[in-house]
Amino acid sequence: MYKLTKNITLSVVTSLLTLGLVGNASAKVEGDTIVLGAAVSLTGKYTTAGHHTQRGYDLAVSRVNSKGGVTVGGKNYRLKVIYYDDESTPARGAQLAERLIKQDGVKFMLGPYSSGLTKAMAPITEKHKVPMVEGNGASRSLFNKGYRYLFAVLSTSEQYLQEAVNLAAQHAKAMGKSPSSVKVAVAVENDPFSLDIRAGVLDDAKRHGMKVVVDDKLPRELSDMSATLTKVKALKPDILVVSGHSKGASLITRQAAAMRVKVPMLAITHCESAKVTDNKKFGTKAEGTLCATQWAPTMTYRDPWFGSAGDYAKDFKAAYGYVPPYQAAESTASVLVWVNALQNANSFDTEKVRDALSATKLQTFYGNVKFDATGKNIAKPMVLRQVQGGKYVVVAPAKWASHKLVHPRP
Amino acid sequence: MDNLQLLIDAPVFTLQLLIDGLLAGAIFALAAYGMALVWGVMNIINITQGEFVILGGFVTLYLSYLGIHPLWGVPVSALALFIVGWGVYRLVIFRIVDRDLFISILATFGISILLQQLMNQLFGADIQNADPNLGTLFLFNDDVAIANIKFVALAVTIVTGVLLILFLRKSRIGQAIRATAQSARAARLMGINTDRVYATTYALNAALCGATGSLVVMTWVIHPFIGLIYTVRSFMIVIVAGLGNLAGVVVAGLGLGAAENFAGFLLGTEFQAAFVFSLLVIILVWRNYRLGKKRQYLK
């Protein structure tokens, strides 16, 4: 008997709780506070990048709030983010998306870190018709599934090194040669992100009629590139493109120097995470290398919240003690896109807000934002920085270049 | 086939691939010594091999942070890993020495996962390397470029091999190891403390891996989760060379290094590992065939 009573009490309490939560679900706005939800990687293999993401969000929220918040229907609202730790695992990310939407009643989502986690969460937000603005999922496979509620402020991965191919073409033209005389070598890791990069590079090489002389896919347990580099030495391409996360960046920087591979242009990704400019680790071996980046503090974009990209970098450094990597900047930009869309929609109706998001036309310190029908940002180019004198300087695209390209690399 | 034409047109690149591959193979052979030893004496296939290698690499890396030249890491990592190996034996391995092969694979696989995660927590998941700054040997107008550290690696492998053979033949504990390998029971009857022999063998293996890791961090890069490939290579070398044949291990190691390099060049790096494993299958089938013939002859 006692057990039965206990069970009944339990179920009553549970249902009351559930009711309370359901009641909460319609209230995506609590009083004068708009609630955003995010799952970020605070533990696990993406811990570092996860913290950059969270700090990017936090800085945006505190800045927007201190500048008067978000104005909807003539009333000012403050922003707040509910965070959960996704432990760097996609399955947990998907669970947390469900929890944020169904239990916490969040109607406006921010993205997690990495393409993999975004890929796991997008089907959930899509199912519940909750818009998600993300700044850290670059794989183009996110944008060919017909998602209506996913918006990405960053450039997709196939664009990472396309600019380098165009740069090689421009250089050939300037030398009075046809771009089709340029020989391209590609060595990328066998993973979705790097294969995207390869696809982008091959597309552009084809467009210019260039000849691809090396097209190697590096294994994941890659620890030696000498076979590929021997081929590069034999075939003498004009440009070598390498993408293999920080492992690839670190190997190519070391081995190209050790084997005296004299390729006039070397374009790679993940320079920052591999710390190729670290004098103690690499000496001056990275000199002249082109590095793809989403954003750099020297760019001249501006917005009313942070001012210029340089101002943002200063504020971020004051708050967290280090120069913001692009992962933080694109996270901040995601929040700014939300603010802009909510104000333009002038409503909290998710469909109206979604339409406002899709019509976004905004300049932030991070770059211009304009989404195409698939939700990816088509207004912001990737930037190429070259290592010159041990420092990163922007050399392309021409509009944002602060320095001239050194070609061929020393 | 274009790549093959390239080698025919410019034979100097064949030389590059061959030398580079052989020297890389010397590094693989060093770790394979240890695997052959543990397998032969204790009948344990040590999956932890690769993690010991990476751990040795981290020891050398931290030594270089202290301003000590990473070449000193070869003996220091070996010593550090000897102690780690002894500890792992006392904690886990002694429980599984007499069990079947499956239990030992499972147990060492577990240790390998544990070590990976511990290294990830302690040292972080960044890619690391310790540059010995020994320069590169350039021949034929820079067309052949071999990092000098690889010659050091070959020297270390040969010297260690000779020392190991001398140790096993001449020293008391070496003789005890060989006796135990032949028959643990008979060795025990003769008053040999086989538990101690096993501990020494296992620790010696870890030490060899430590020295390997030290060479790896100076030649290539390390990362907490990159160890498995060294286990696989050791396994393959031992399979090809057979147990208790150190000279065979060196030859198989060098051959594996060269084969990997040529496969990477001719077929593309994505088929490098696939080619090597296909080679393993072919060699096993061939050996089986040879053995079969021998039996028929004996009949």
Mean pLDDT value of segment B107-126: 88
Q: Quick one: DSSP state of residue A32? A: T
B214-248 per-residue burial string, b: 16 or more CB within 10 A, e: under 16: bbbbbbbbbbbbbbbbbbbbbbbbbbbbebbebeb
Which pLDDT does position A6 carry in this prediction? 56
Residue range(s) defining the domain that contains residue B183: 2-272
Of A385, A235, A224, nearest to A215 by C-alpha is A235
The tokens describing A390, both together, are 């041990």
Interface check A286 vs B, CB under 8 A: no
Which pLDDT does position A7 carry in this prediction? 57
Which pLDDT does position B66 carry in this prediction? 93
Q: In chain B, which ranges are E strands?
A: 136-139, 144-147
pLDDT band of residue B137 (cuts 50, 70, 90) is confident
Mean pLDDT value of segment A27-45: 85
pLDDT tens across A343-395, in order?
999 999 999 999 999 999 999 999 999 999 999 999 988 889 999 988 888 88
Of B225, B214, B229, nearest to B118 by C-alpha is B225
> Is residue B279 domain-resident?
no
pLDDT tens across B194-217, in order?
999 999 999 999 999 999 999 999
Q: Which of B215, B269, B275 has the highest number of chain A CBs within 10 A, making it the mutation to test binding with A?
A: B269
Which pLDDT does position B1 carry in this prediction? 58
Residues 6+ apart with CB under 8 A from A212: A183, A184, A185, A186, A202, A205
pLDDT tens across A200-241, in order?
999 999 999 999 998 988 887 777 888 889 889 888 999 999
Which A residues, 57 through 96, put their C-beta within 8 Å of a C-beta on chain B? none
How high is the mean pLDDT of chain B? 89
Percent pLDDT > 70 in chain A is 93
pLDDT band of residue A20 (cuts 50, 70, 90) is very low
* Residue B293 in this model has a pLDDT that exceeds 80: no
The enclosing domain of B38 has a CATH number of 1.10.3470
Higher per-residue pLDDT: A29 or B71? B71
Total domains in the fold of chain B: 1
User: Nearest by CB to B221, which of A217, A223, A259?
Assistant: A223
A18, A259, B246 from A15: Cα distances, Å = 5, 69, 71
* Residue A254 in this model has a pLDDT that exceeds 80: yes
Least confident of B97-111, B136-150, B253-267: B136-150
* Residue A14 in this model has a pLDDT that exceeds 60: no
Which pLDDT does position A244 carry in this prediction? 83
> Is residue B293 domain-resident?
no
* Residue A26 in this model has a pLDDT that exceeds 80: no
* Residue B260 in this model has a pLDDT that exceeds 50: yes
B221 to chain A: nearest residue by CA?
A223
Of B165, B234, B169, B168, nearest to B206 by C-alpha is B234
Which pLDDT does position A19 carry in this prediction? 43
Chain CA centroid to CA B170, Å: 24
- Per-domain residue ranges of chain A: 28-155+299-369, 159-293+383-400
Higher per-residue pLDDT: B82 or A394? B82
Which pLDDT does position B299 carry in this prediction? 43
* Residue A123 in this model has a pLDDT that exceeds 90: yes
How high is the mean pLDDT of chain A? 87
Mean pLDDT value of segment A242-271: 88
Which pLDDT does position A282 carry in this prediction? 84
Do the beta carbons of residue A109 and residue A37 sit within 8 Å?
yes
pTM for the model stands at 0.79
A256 to chain B: nearest residue by CA?
B145
Mean pLDDT value of segment A253-274: 88
User: Nearest by CB to A254, which of B3, B129, B269?
Assistant: B129
* Residue A27 in this model has a pLDDT that exceeds 80: no
Q: Quick one: DSSP state of residue A389? A: T
Which pLDDT does position A9 carry in this prediction? 54
* CATH number, span A28-155+299-369: 3.40.50.2300
pLDDT tens across B8-19, in order?
777 788 888 899
> Is residue B84 domain-resident?
yes
Which A residues, 225 through 284, put their C-beta within 8 Å of a C-beta on chain B? 225-228, 230-231, 233-235, 246-247, 250-251, 254, 258-260, 273-274, 281-283
A408: preceding bond cis by omega (within 30 degrees) = yes
- The answer to whether the Cβ–Cβ distance between A254 and B138 falls below 8 Å is no
The interface predicted TM-score of the complex, written ipTM, equals 0.80
* Residue B245 in this model has a pLDDT that exceeds 90: no
Q: Which CATH superfamily is domain A159-293+383-400 in?
A: Response regulator (3.40.50.2300)
Residues 6+ apart with CB under 8 A from A145: A122
Which pLDDT does position A17 carry in this prediction? 47
DSSP B10-75: -HHHHHHHHHHHHHHHHHHHHHHHHHHHHHHHH----TTHHHHHHHHHHHHHHHHHTT--GGGHHH
